[in-house]
Chains A and B, each alone.
Chain A
Amino acid sequence: MKVAVLIKQVPDTTAKVGITSGSVDEGAISKWSISPYDEYALESALSLQSGSGATVVAITLGPERSSKSLIDAAAVGADELLHVVHDGGLGSLSLQKALSEAVTRVGAEVVLVGKQAADTNSGSTGPGVAKMLNYSCVGLVSRIEAGSDGFEATRSTPSGMERVSVKLPCVFAFDKGDVELRRPNVRGIMMAKKKPIEKISLADLGVDNTGEGVSTTSVDYPPEKPEGQRFEGADAAAEVAVKLREEANVI
């Protein structure tokens, strides 16, 4: 069984993100990392590798620097690495088309991906790729287990945890999983250095960047938080209690 993990390289959660004339100033970002939800997908893929002997193919789409996220994936155990090299914007349909072609190229019947990327939060990649491939899609997954002819997945719903079964081929879009991504050890890091990364272009996949689907037009900083309120003395207790209950909704 081949399992594809779709990995996106995003600014690390600790990195400062600046915006210049409506777009993120990528050159100023000090640290890039694998998007956190993709990490849960990767960890689940690696447990399929050790549990059912699956071959894990890590796929990323992005500029040259994104290769680092594939090397990081290889350091924890990904077997094969595929980089669709593309710099600059890409319409959502072209992106999903490219990734689904990449999945077809590597011959994976199971696709694991984060439910949304930490930078764009768009949440469309998993379902979009599933649609293009005509695979089943299970969203908000926290755990998957391989069965005899498919998978059992645990996913969160508003009322609690739900278990579903799904047959191959399928896409799982991961929420926060049960297990954090394993830490690489020295052996893995040294092996990753030797692992080849297959680099291909959108054209190699027969995909045009038509800008179809959803494209980002501009980004802006979130609104500044209103200033905090200050209370002094025991006399304010009643007022504070009311505000905590009615404004902050914390009691």
Chain B
Amino acid sequence: MGYEALDFYDVDSLLTDEERMIRDAVRDWVDESVIPKIENACREGVFLDEWRQDIGSMGILGAPLKGYGCPGLSYTAYGVICRELERGDSGIRSFASVQGSLAMYPIWDFGSEEQKEKYLPGMATGELIGCFGLTEPDYGSNPGDMVTKATEDGDGFVLNGAKMWITNGTIADLAIVWAKLDGVIRGFIVEKGDPGFSAPEMKGKHSLKASVTSELVFQDCRIPKDRILPGVKGLRGPFSCLNNARFGISWGAIGSAQACYDSAKSYALSRIQFDHPIAAYQLVQNKLAWMLREITKGQLLAYHLGKKKDAGEWIPEHISLAKMNNVDIALEIARVSRDIHGANGILDEYPVMRHMANLESVKTYEGTHDIHNLILGRHITGIQAFTKGA
């Protein structure tokens, strides 16, 4: 049975015609090119290169960026794209998020004219892949204390340190690396093949298996002077990127939840126990009704946030709420969906356990669930609770 995207309140009727056409194009692509291949890709732990090519030729990378060959769409359209991609798999959406929000965006916003012209057109078509190096083995929620360092040396910079949990790292042609220069966080563009740079893949993941996750290692890595991003200093740089990626995730998680709901609904209607479909039993109906309720709320949250983002009337806390809530409910919906599928739910014949395992990562990356609560806690009380007072 084909996928039916739950849209109980017809929220998509609020989209523009173009946004709906883009939705349909991406949804069709996911049906044809992701769904039939994703389970095998997960078993083998690979991100298919054809996905990169297709996503590039659809012209959806760096969706909300304008100029330099970028699509110039609304943030709402970017959200819709993330939702449709993540309905296929969080790993596919991660590829697009990292490319667009974490690698293209900092070049677009903080890069020099030469940097924009050199990298953005190729990144928009997927010919060049980017990644984003902020997190380190010992500094995750606390990136401000990073130890990766850049030093000026003649006509270039020398980088030393290591980054971890880097989506697209091994397959990337360039990395946006955040490192301290004279104690101040700055962004640098490191290209594949730069001396002293390597990006070994991290293996053994139970989650995001169809996505490449890597370390970035810098051992006296020498890059030319013109690879520093001139337009930003401090944590504002990486945090601006993360705001955009988190915005995309708040939509993407709804896609995963819709996929899990769709599977649970059709399974419940066809699975017969005690002579009736299990959908006829009150406990199962209660679960489906709860999913519908939470997905509908999450859709409205994502849509309204999209409108605020497009109007420029947003604060990072708005994004924290949507990312945190929508991933949280998507993960819980995946778990309940697995429960409705019974033992069948653990098989890769159904998408639910894959989404569930993916969402465990999504809950943690791009600001953990708890950190987003602390961001909101600080907003409410004016008291930060990230660190213990000295």
Q: A183-B58, A185-B58, A186-B73 are in contact. Are A72 and B21 (CB under 8 A)?
A: yes
Chain B: interface residue total (CB-CB under 8 A):
16
Asked if B59 is at the interface of the complex by the 8 Å CB criterion, the answer is yes
Asked if B199 is at the interface of the complex by the 8 Å CB criterion, the answer is no
Q: A14-B2, A189-B22 are in contact. Are A183 and B17 (CB under 8 A)?
A: no
Contacts of A75 in B (CB 8 A): 21
Asked if A184 is at the interface of the complex by the 8 Å CB criterion, the answer is yes
Q: Are B57 and A185 in contact (CB under 8 A)?
A: yes
Interface centre among A71, A72, A75, A189 (most CB of B within 10 A): A189
Asked if A65 is at the interface of the complex by the 8 Å CB criterion, the answer is no
Q: A183-B58, A185-B57 are in contact. Are A193 and B18 (CB under 8 A)?
A: yes
Contacts of B63 in A (CB 8 A): 186
Q: Identify which of residues 55-95 in chain A touch chain B, using a CB-to-CB cut-off of 8 Å.
A: 71-72, 75
Q: With both chains docked as a complex, state the minimum distance between the C-beta of B10 and any C-beta of chain A, in angstroms.
A: 11
Asked if B283 is at the interface of the complex by the 8 Å CB criterion, the answer is no
Asked if A225 is at the interface of the complex by the 8 Å CB criterion, the answer is no
- Cβ contacts B64-84/A at 8 Å (1 or 0 each): 000000011100000000000
Contacts of A72 in B (CB 8 A): 21
**In the assembly, what is the distance between CA of A187 and CA of B57, in Å?**
10
Q: Are B58 and A193 in contact (CB under 8 A)?
A: no
Closest to B77 in A: A186
| A interface secondary structure, majority | helix
Q: With both chains docked as a complex, state the minimum distance between the C-beta of B182 and any C-beta of chain A, in angstroms.
A: 41
Q: Are A189 and B25 in contact (CB under 8 A)?
A: yes
**In the assembly, what is the distance between CA of A186 and CA of B61, in Å?**
10
Q: Are B18 and A183 in contact (CB under 8 A)?
A: no
Asked if B239 is at the interface of the complex by the 8 Å CB criterion, the answer is no
Q: Identify which of residues 160-213 in chain A touch chain B, using a CB-to-CB cut-off of 8 Å.
A: 183-187, 189-190, 192-193
Partner of B28, one of A183, A187, A190: A183
**In the assembly, what is the distance between CA of A51 and CA of B57, in Å?**
20
Q: Are A186 and B17 in contact (CB under 8 A)?
A: no
Q: Are B25 and A184 in contact (CB under 8 A)?
A: yes
Asked if B51 is at the interface of the complex by the 8 Å CB criterion, the answer is no
Partner of A183, one of B2, B25, B71, B73: B25
Contacts of B22 in A (CB 8 A): 186, 189
Can you list 18 A-B pairs with a CB-CB distance of less than 8 A?
A: A71-B17, A72-B21, A75-B21, A184-B21, A185-B57, A185-B59, A186-B22, A186-B59, A186-B60, A186-B73, A189-B18, A189-B21, A189-B25, A190-B18, A190-B71, A190-B72, A190-B73, A193-B17
Q: B residues touching A (Cβ–Cβ < 8 Å)?
A: 2, 17-18, 21-22, 25, 28-29, 57-60, 63, 71-73
